[in-house]
Amino acid sequence: MFKPAITGTGVFTPDQIITNAELVEAFNAYVDLYNAQNAEAIAAGDLAAKEHSSEEFIFKASGIEQRYVIDKSGILNPEVMHPLLRQRSDDEPSLMAEMALDAATKALAQAGKTAADVDAVICAASNLERAYPAVAIEIQDLLGIEGFAFDMNVACSSATFGIQAAADMVRSGSIRSALVVNPEICSAHLEWRDRDCHFIFGDVATATLIEREEAATGPYFEIKSTRCATDFSNNIRNNNGFLRRSRPDGVKDRRDMQFMQNGRKVFKEVLPLVAEHIAGHMAEEGVNANDLKRLWLHQANKSMNDFIGRKVLGRSPEPGEQPNILQEYANTSSAGSIIAFSKHSSDMKDGDTGLICSFGAGYSVGSVVVQRHG
């Protein structure tokens, strides 16, 4: 048996930013257009008028100040309200693979490794660009990695579930190392016309290199243990899929073809699930609250993270103990906790213990206990 370790991480950040002010201006213009086009039905009581959004509402509800996106032009166009992405030929790298390649190259560089040192690629994301061939195999090919690759989807928990799969394979000796990549084009499955959620997501890609501890050439994080759990719920859902055209009204512009959630139920049901999951994992590993130097949580909502932090630590987290990147990146699905880990882990000291946790649709929750070495 080998000890698995995280030896490198990388983050690809798009170069386009949408501030809350820009988002609100575009959304409110869309609302005015919608209400004007449907004035008669609204006046007759057959249709509800849409309400304006505001910067204050967005920040209070989420803690988000801006988000990075692949394309802002379509999102900010009141007559479009979704990203406009260039049609690529089948001979070109896919957008997800291109994003993942950037993040993976950075992770390899941080670890001081090359493609020759990697045996597997796992592309773990909440929405994949196509059904097949696997995006992971395309990424593997672009990197020049021998071995194997596969896609997986556990929504916002995909990264931690991918890390568990990679760590288990490294631990067993079936592979030397694996890249877990999380290209998240969340702007494409967000409903930008819905006031309750139009501010939630941003785009990004992350990568994590997991290899045998003995192969580390610099500071690294030993993966002490992993834990995953799922509990079925419809409260976060997207009904889009390859069967869509085969069903009545399948190709129409239906609300359930994009991200949907019952926010109040999610808040009420997910928080205790996550807090209990982390507490159980820490107990199994013999880690108490005073031992935990850092919590890298899924970046969905600041209030949710503050609640979880208080439950896990038994007090309000000190500045830096539970880093948030939400205000800058917004919710980036599975990539959020990895961004937080990548940007807020280098200051930890030898022997310090931390915990990475992601959670979301499924419901699903995954946690990884790590210890700094070097």
Matching residue, tokens 């880093």: 323
Q: What is the pLDDT of residue 354?
A: 97
pLDDT band at 250 (very low <50, low <70, confident <90, very high): confident
Tens of pLDDT along 298-334?
999 899 999 999 999 999 998 899 999 999 999 999 9
Mean pLDDT of 346-358: 97
Q: What is the pLDDT of residue 84?
A: 97
Q: What is the pLDDT of residue 325?
A: 96
Mean pLDDT of 161-180: 98
Task: State the DSSP code for 130.
Answer: -
Q: Catalytic amino acids?
A: 156
Sheet holding 120-124, edge to edge: 148-152, 120-124, 177-185, 203-212, 4-12, 220-230, 364-373, 353-360, 292-297
Q: What is the pLDDT of residue 248?
A: 84
Q: What is the pLDDT of residue 251?
A: 81
Q: Which two tokens stand for residue 2?
A: 């080998």
Please report the domains of the chain, with CATH numbers, ordered by start residue. Answer: 221-373 (3.40.47.10)
Q: Which two tokens stand for residue 191?
A: 């409903």
Q: What is the pLDDT of residue 194?
A: 95
